[in-house]
């Protein structure tokens, strides 16, 4: 099988299930942003993290592939055969957030991203996740999107923020507070 099909040369692509849509279709914005997030999490995973952290990020990438596949499908019969995000996936994220948060100093202000490459990449993942959440919400205004998927993306961005703080602590990176008086 060749990687190129030439079927998208005129600005259309196929969704899972075969429906052809324009490359600027709302579904492509949604699953393309999730794909970008998956790739950035891969970059984060390539940093000097613990095996436990890396394994958890692989699990997140797997769950995001489920999200992307749902966004890429306009066919209800195909959707019904796909794995789904469930409440347990969200609970696991929340448990990980709580576990990391227990060891961190309480947050007193906004934090400027940076201090260590792994921390910065984590913040990039967080912001791409927020965009994926916005795209998912836009998609949900026109097409069915499971509410647990929206909830998962929201919780994942929280997880990525707390992970950035945890990594800052691990790597002894300074957290610079944003103290601008408005």
Domain of 38, in residue numbers: 13-175
Question: Side-chain half-sphere of 113: how many Cα atoms within 13 Å?
Answer: 16
Domains in the chain, number: 1
pLDDT higher than 90, residue 8 = no
pLDDT in tens, 154-176: 999 999 999 999 999 999 999 99
In a domain, 182, yes or no: no
In a domain, 1, yes or no: no
What is the CA angle 108-114-162, rounded to 5? 50
pLDDT in tens, 22-47: 788 899 999 999 999 999 999 999 99
């Amino acid at each position: 099988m060749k990687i190129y099909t030439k079927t998208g040369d005129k600005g259309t692509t196929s969704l899972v299930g075969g429906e052809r849509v324009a490359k600027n279709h709302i579904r492509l914005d949604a699953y393309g942003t999730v794909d970008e997030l998956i790739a950035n999490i891969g970059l984060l995973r390539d940093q000097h993290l613990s095996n436990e952290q890396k394994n958890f990020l692989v699990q997140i990438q797997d769950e995001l592939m489920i999200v992307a596949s749902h966004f890429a499908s306009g066919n209800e019969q195909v959707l019904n055969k796909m794995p789904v995000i469930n409440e347990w996936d969200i609970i696991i994220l929340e448990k990980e957030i709580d576990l990391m948060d227990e060891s961190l100093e309480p947050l007193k202000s906004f934090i400027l991203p940076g201090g260590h490459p792994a921390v910065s990449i984590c913040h990039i993942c967080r912001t791409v996740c927020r965009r994926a959440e916005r795209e998912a919400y836009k998609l949900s205004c026109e097409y069915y999107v499971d509410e647990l998927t929206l909830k998962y993306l929201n919780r994942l961005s929280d997880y990525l923020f707390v992970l950035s703080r945890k990594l800052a602590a691990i790597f002894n990176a300074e957290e610079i507070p944003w103290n601008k008086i408005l």
